[in-house]
Structure 1
Amino acid sequence: MTAQHRDLRQLQHQAAELDARLAATRHTARSSDQLVTVTVTGQEKLLDLRIDDRALHGAHVQKLGFDIVEAVRNARAAARASSLPHLNALFGKQPPPPPPSATGPAAPPQAAAPEPARRAAAPEDEENFADLDFLTDDEPDAGGGRW
């Protein structure tokens, strides 16, 4: 067995151990309104989703989907932040620099990506839906010429 083959086997073994540790690790996060709680593994796999009864009977039940997505993102971000140093150590990479803080030195400016070209819409192509009420059967004013 060559040294390179032995090193590869050792790396595979260490990766399998890390994968098992990440699978056993739990990260829990909540939505900003504290009504949705999510638990994920260190591998970012969703394990548990809990919705407070107040979210189902409150005035803003339509916001529930956003709260679920927010809680999942928060939990996965925590899992990623926790696992990144271990992954970097395993593969011999340096961790990324920490994000600049409000009190720390500013990061060097980066060139902004060019914005994609947009087609200017002709005024007759645009429609303004702000004044339409889609919830009633009332006909719009005859002077508007809409329908």
Structure 2
Amino acid sequence: MTAPRPDLRLMQRQAGELDAQLSAVRHTARSADQLVSAMVTGQGKLVDLRIDDRALHGAHGQKLGLDIVDAIRNARNEALASSLPQLNALFGKQPPPPPATGPAPQRHATAPEPAHYQPEPDDDQSFEELDFLTDEPEPGGGRW
């Protein structure tokens, strides 16, 4: 006996409704130093980014990029945590188990060994005469 198949059209309609709901929801989070805030939709799309003037002056300017990434990541994590139960319900999946409360296991990352580039025999093509700024094909042949 096979399991009953969900109505595909019903699931598509419900997914469309959920997508519309998530696009209307907003989640705001800040960087660890509170100088950058980001707002994303329930889908995780960035809609607003605010940078405190203090972040542009002094030592804070050097880490502004990291603060921006931190604020956006925090906002997207909130959006994901908020929408996950709805997504699981739509697709009939059980939510993931809560994270363990004990200390995190130690992981020792090993760097991958560098790949060594070995040129092909015909890889010595000169690019001096190529015009990369035009879309015109070369006379007598293709662009590349």
Q: TM-score, normalised by structure 2?
A: 0.68
Q: Secondary structure at the match of 1:94?
A: coil
Cα drift, residue 117 of structure 1: 6.5
Q: Which amino acid aligns with 2:20?
A: A
Cα drift, residue 8 of structure 1: 1.0
Question: Which residues of structure 1 form unaligned runs of 5+?
Answer: 120-147
Determine if the alignment matches structure 1 residue 21 to structure 2 residue 46: no
Residues 70-81 of structure 1 correspond to what in structure 2 (within 5 A)?
Answer: 70-81=70-81
Residues 116-135 of structure 1 correspond to what in structure 2 (within 5 A)?
Answer: 118=113
2:8 aligns with 8
1:54 aligns with 54
2:65 aligns with 65
Query: Partners of 1:34 and 1:69 in 2: how far apart?
Result: 13
Q: Which ranges of 4 or more aligned residues in structure 1 deviate by more than 6 Å?
A: none
Query: Partners of 2:43 and 2:61 in 1: how far apart?
Result: 30
Query: Partners of 1:84 and 1:41 in 2: how far apart?
Result: 14
Query: Partners of 1:117 and 1:68 in 2: how far apart?
Result: 29
Q: How much identity, in percent, do the aligned residues show?
A: 67
Question: Which residues of structure 2 form unaligned runs of 5+?
Answer: 115-144
Query: Partners of 2:63 and 2:42 in 1: how far apart?
Result: 27
Q: TM-score, normalised by structure 1?
A: 0.66
* Cα RMSD for the two superposed structures: 2.6
Query: Partners of 1:36 and 1:116 in 2: how far apart?
Result: 32
Greater percentage in helix: 1
Cα drift, residue 114 of structure 1: 8.9
Query: Partners of 1:66 and 1:24 in 2: how far apart?
Result: 27
CA, structure 1 residues 70+90, in 2 after alignment: closer, same or farther (shift >3 Å)?
same
Q: How many residue pairs are counted as aligned between the two chains?
A: 110
Q: Secondary structure at the match of 1:59?
A: helix
